């Protein structure tokens, strides 16, 4: 009922605006009690009150520099009512973004970019950044979507499947790093705060895995990535409801993810950033390899998002 209420409220406001290293440590809380419901209502209420929902929250473009080094195979309109967000398409020789019935397909093949560069192939949708609040009230994005994992990489050289994954959504940090006991404090954050990935575990199963860094990522601080598995093995081709409520609480990075109604808390951080922004789609398909014009289809991912995604920014 809560998910339906959120979706209906967000869709109604979108219409109004338009017209005017893997571990198995599980961080899970299945008791969505009244306090958590209040947190959700607060976060959604703050987002809805600003009117920054749907495509109104989306003016964040790829930029000409990245397009020149990675390519742009996607020729569809930047924004879509069923999959809001500005389309960030970094692929050259293979990959596509198409709509099939009620689904938008994000099809990527690793390595197929114009020139060698450290950033992995992606086709994602991104939203405008939002600022760290001046008060302690919850200030979070409100995202709901239904995802279907149709294909993940299956590298024959890595039998453990350790690199056979694709990121389906992420929260990116930017601007000044705060509250950190280290030389990176005061520098600009340059990467994701966390990423949710679909990680192959066998020929026909995968898991949702949260990847995050225990340290900020900046000019003087490298990523210190760790992972948490969110639930057990899951089947390909099955629909999964995803909700993300993440941003700030008491002016610190804070939030959680719901998968089919089960709540998974994102771990606490010992730093925060002045800005954040959210992305979803498909990013990286297995090992990050140099630019190649090859059909490396064991490095292919197809992630489908249904055409009823809702999104609200808090400011």
- Residue pair 146/3 in contact (Cβ under 8 Å)? The answer is no
**pLDDT at residue 106, rounded to an integer:** 95
66-88 as b/e: b if 16+ CB within 10 A: bbeebbbbbeeebbbeebbbbbb
| CA distance readout (Å), 95 to 124, 175, 202 | 12, 31, 24
Separation between Cα atoms, residue 106 and residue 108, nearest integer Å: 6
Angle ∠(60,226,28) on CA atoms, nearest 5: 90
**pLDDT at residue 62, rounded to an integer:** 63
**pLDDT at residue 67, rounded to an integer:** 66
Name the token pair of 141.
């994005």
**pLDDT at residue 243, rounded to an integer:** 98
Separation between Cα atoms, residue 133 and residue 139, nearest integer Å: 7
Q: Among 182, 302, 139, which Cα is nearest to 236's?
A: 302
190-214 as b/e: b if 16+ CB within 10 A: ebbbbbbbbbbbeeeebbbbbbbbe
Other Cβ atoms less than 10 A from the Cβ of 173: the count is 26
Chunked mean pLDDT (size 10), the chain, 315 residues: 44 33 32 36 47 79 65 65 87 87 93 75 91 91 97 93 97 95 93 97 97 92 92 98 96 96 96 96 89 84 97 90
Model-level pTM greater than 0.75?
yes
96-121 as b/e: b if 16+ CB within 10 A: bbeeeeebbbbbbbbbbbbeeeeebb
């Amino acid at each position: 009922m809560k998910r339906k209420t959120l979706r209906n409220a967000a869709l109604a406001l979108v219409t109004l605006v338009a017209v005017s290293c893997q571990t198995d440590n599980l961080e899970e809380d299945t008791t969505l009690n009244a306090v958590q419901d209040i947190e959700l209502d607060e976060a959604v209420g703050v987002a809805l009150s600003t009117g920054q929902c749907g495509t109104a929250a989306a003016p964040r473009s790829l930029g000409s520099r990245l397009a020149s080094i990675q390519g742009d195979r996607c020729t569809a309109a930047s924004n879509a009512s069923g999959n809001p967000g500005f389309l960030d398409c970094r692929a050259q020789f293979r990959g596509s973004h198409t709509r099939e019935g009620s689904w938008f397909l994000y099809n990527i093949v690793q390595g197929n970019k114009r020139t060698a560069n450290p950033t992995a192939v992606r086709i994602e949708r991104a939203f405008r950044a939002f600022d760290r609040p001046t008060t302690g009230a919850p200030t979070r994005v409100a995202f709901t979507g239904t995802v279907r994992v149709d294909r993940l990489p299956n590298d024959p050289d890595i039998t453990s499947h350790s690199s056979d994954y694709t990121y389906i959504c992420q929260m990116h940090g930017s601007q000044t790093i705060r509250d950190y006991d280290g030389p990176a404090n005061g520098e600009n954050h340059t990467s994701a705060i966390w990423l949710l990935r679909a990680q192959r575990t066998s020929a026909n199963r995968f898991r949702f895995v949260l990847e995050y860094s225990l340290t900020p990522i900046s000019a003087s601080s490298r990523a210190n990535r760790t992972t948490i598995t969110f639930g057990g093995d899951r089947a390909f081709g099955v629909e999964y409801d995803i909700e993300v409520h993440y941003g700030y609480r008491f002016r610190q990075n804070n939030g959680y993810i719901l998968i089919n109604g089960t709540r998974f808390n994102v771990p606490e951080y010992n730093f925060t950033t002045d800005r954040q922004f959210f992305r979803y789609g498909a990013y990286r398909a297995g090992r990050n390899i140099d630019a190649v014009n090859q059909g490396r289809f064991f490095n292919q991912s197809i992630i489908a998002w249904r055409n009823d995604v809702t999104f609200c920014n808090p400011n």
